[in-house]
Structure formats: structure tokens, C-alpha cells
Structure 1
């Protein structure tokens, strides 16, 4: 095994798709890895290949991040292992249909995996990294965080949560030397589609990004220390304009007095 040069990256949802490609790219960049997912067999296969190709230390940590005890186990690893320098919060799921088509248990499971787990893990990593004055957190969100009308609002809302969390943490943790990035993929060719009963090939071919291209672009944004990275967005100025307008509104969003445009309704 070669000497550690970049510390250890803990990656959730690491058995396939975006998480597995992050594992590949980060191992080749010189990170040791802790792979977190439910599918131990697939993680072992990935780990064996990456050990052979890179000489890095690759550990398997089986966890179901919809289970509170398993989340606590991963939290404890983040807070207790000083070798960890990077958290990639990637694990997630989507629904087959909308809020109206799914049972409450399925909604709760999505919230547990897409919101509760990554929030708890980000918090654990943040506390550890702030104490050491270094580290990075990558949250895999979605372009649907910016387009809630397009598909199911439960999924897009969970990704909007990760975007908000990332922007807040980036602002809060930067003075302590901790970098936070939100990555917003568009439609990407991964297994999440089939698992939720959807056909990714129903989209026009020019709308679906290959997962390797997505992760490579996200890592360019990581190296540039972008807070928000949107790999499919060609015109960066569109995001810049949206974000700047949001910041312009901040000082006027809370006031004692009702805005003049609502006064007639209030009086009525």
C-alpha cells in the first residue's frame, strides 16, 4: 500500500453509479477510501479492483442509511477517525410517481435517506473538520432543486434541502478552513432510474449525461472550490444571475411592516 497523501474519503452510496465513480476517481487521485452502502458484494468487487489499480487502502462499511443505528455508526466513524478528510454524501433514492402515488412508508424512507442521513453525516463531518481546521464535504443534490415544477416535489424538495444546507455550511465553515460543495446533476445514467421504476432511455439522448462525465466535471468544480457545481449548465452566467438576485433580496425579506402590495388585502 502506498503512503497516504490526501487522507481518507468516506463515500455513501458507493456500490454503484455516482458513488462508485467517485470512489474510482478519488482512489486514483491518492485518497484512501471508506465505502458505505448496503451491497457488500458490489463494494468488495469495487474495492478489490481499486486496491489493485491504485494501492490505496479501501475499507467496506456496510450501512443502511434509512436505519438510525447504521447512520449513527457512520457518524461515529466520521467524528472518530482523524484520517478522514472528505465526505461525499451521495446515497439517495427517488420515487415511482408523485406524493399522491406513494404510501407514507415510502415517503418516510426517501426523507430518511435523502435528507436525514446526509444532514446528520454532514453535521458529524463538519464538527470533526472544524476541530482540525481542514476538510471537505460534497453533497450530491440535483438540478431539480432549481426546478420543482418539473417532476415530483418530494424528491426535488429533498435535493433543495441539500443545496440549502450546502450553501449555509459553506458560508459558516469557510472561516474554519472547511470547504463545502453542492453538486447538481441533471439526468444521469445510473441505477436510480430503474430502482424507482423509471426508464432513463425515455429521455432524449442529448439530455442524459454519462456518470463518468458527471463526476469528472464535479471534480473540476471541486478543484476550483465552487460552492455550487452544475455540470450540465453551459451558461454559468444564468446561475450567477439567479444567485446574485437571491442575495439582493436577502436584506429585504424580513420587515416589521407588510409590503405595500398587500396592504389593501390586509385592510379588507
Structure 2
């Protein structure tokens, strides 16, 4: 029987990451859990090892720190047991764009964009060589919604979706599955950390329901999984409209409406 691949999960100490860890340990996968909070990681690892009998390594790392990020990259490059990466770590944004200081923007971009990109780049060559494996990137429906006012956060999640789709086109034919998971508001600690009162957010999804739906999409090999989207045809229509738009682009000439009238 073929051994199940080990899975590296970022942001694994709580919320979506910890729930992924539980569900995947129950499926029999060995895990590498990455987060800043060593105490929580150790507690989660001990509980899952006792409950599921899988091997779990803990890797304490702040993915906004260059040295820590390089440590996780090295693990992904060098550990042949790891066949799946779940890029879950991320942070939200409180306040509008004019309230965002440079340091806050830099930290959000580092965690939501730079880290998942570099970690995917670290593991991808090895997965391509093996002709197998998967990369899962956690985005957000906010990436569709500039009207929500979370401009920097939404832009970072739009990047995650684009990167996932691009990687699917590049790596899919070479045996590597890439999934983008786009939650809406989910009941996790990310909101409190961003200074947002969860009481002001209506209709939040339970984290267990979110991860179970994401894993159902994973098992079906969906390229984009949107657990709160109840009419799947809406996504198909949006993607179809995008492809039609590309088909209407004629790059050699400006459109007639932009040409000066003599």
C-alpha cells in the first residue's frame, strides 16, 4: 500500500489551520505544523498523536520574519516526505486604507502574499519532479469585493486566487494539483487579532464546516472551492465571462471608443 504523503500546514496553531490538522490526522497523514505559538502547536501535536497515531513535527516560525520563512522553505525543499502544502497562514485588516500605516501594510503583504508564494515556490520543483502532490492556498471571497473596503486585505486575497489559477495551469499538466479555497467570514481568531469585533459580523461559518467543505473540494480536485457559494453556476459564469473578455482583446490597436475624432 502506498504511504500517504506528509502535509505541511501554516498557521496551524488555531482556527482553520488547526482544524485542517485534525481532519488530516484523522485521515492518517503525518503532519508538519507551522505557527508562531510553540505552546499551542505542542499541545495540538500531542493531542493528535495520541488520538490518531500519526507522526507530527512542530516548526515554530513567524512567516513575516526572513530567517523563519527561509527555515520553512528549506523544510519544503529538503523533506521528501512532504507531498502537500497548505498555505493557510494569513492576517486580516482593520480600518480603511487611509488608516493603514506602512508597517501594517508591509506585514500583511509579507504574510498574505510573500510567504505563500515563496513556500509554493520551495516545494513546487520537487513535486513536479515526482509528478505528484498538491498545493492548497487559502484565499477569501473578499478578493472579489472591493466594495467591502478591506482594500489591502482583499487585494492580497485576489493575488492568492490568481497565483493558484496560474499554478494550476503550469503545474497541473505535470501531476501537481493546486486548489484555491475561498471562505467568507469564518469564526476564527483572525478577526480579534485585527481588532474587529466579531459581534459586528453576521452569518459567520463554523470553522469545522468550512474545512470539511474545503476537503470535499480537494477530494473532487476542484481548482477553486468556494464553500459559502450556494449556486455553483455563478462561478462558472464569472470565469466564462473572463474568458470571453480575453477573447475580445485585440492588442494591436486601441478600441474605437478611445480613438481621437478627426
TM-score by length of 1: 0.95
Residues 1:244 and 2:240 aligned together = yes
Structure 2: distance between partners of 1:63 and 1:210: 26
Structure 2: distance between partners of 1:252 and 1:119: 31
8 Å Cα contact 1:5/1:30 also seen in 2: no
Map of 2:199 onto structure 1: 201
- How many residue pairs align between the two structures? 262
User: Structure 2: 5+ residue runs without aligned partners?
Assistant: none
Map of 1:187 onto structure 2: 185
Map of 1:151 onto structure 2: 149
Q: Give the RMSD, CA atoms, in angstroms.
A: 1.3
Query: Which of 236, 257, 260 pairs up with 1:261?
Result: 257
SS at match of 1:149: helix
Residues 1:213 and 2:209 aligned together = yes
User: Structure 1: 5+ residue runs without aligned partners?
Assistant: none
Structure 1: distance between partners of 2:100 and 2:164: 28
8 Å Cα contact 1:4/1:31 also seen in 2: no
Structure 1: distance between partners of 2:169 and 2:199: 38
Structure 1: distance between partners of 2:144 and 2:51: 38
Map of 2:17 onto structure 1: 19
Structure 2: distance between partners of 1:61 and 1:170: 27
- The 4+ residue runs of structure 1 with deviation greater than 4 A are none
Query: Which of 48, 51, 72 pairs up with 1:50?
Result: 48
Structure 2: distance between partners of 1:17 and 1:55: 22
1:245–1:43: structure 2 CA closer, same or farther, 3 Å change rule? Answer: same
Map of 1:162 onto structure 2: 160
8 Å Cα contact 1:9/1:86 also seen in 2: yes
Q: Deviations over 1:172-201 (max 9, x none)?
A: 101110000000000000000000010122
Structure 1: distance between partners of 2:151 and 2:124: 28
Q: Quote the offset at 1:98 in angstroms.
A: 2.0
TM-score by length of 2: 0.97
Q: Deviations over 1:99-156 (max 9, x none)?
A: 2112101110000000000000011121111011100000000001111221311000
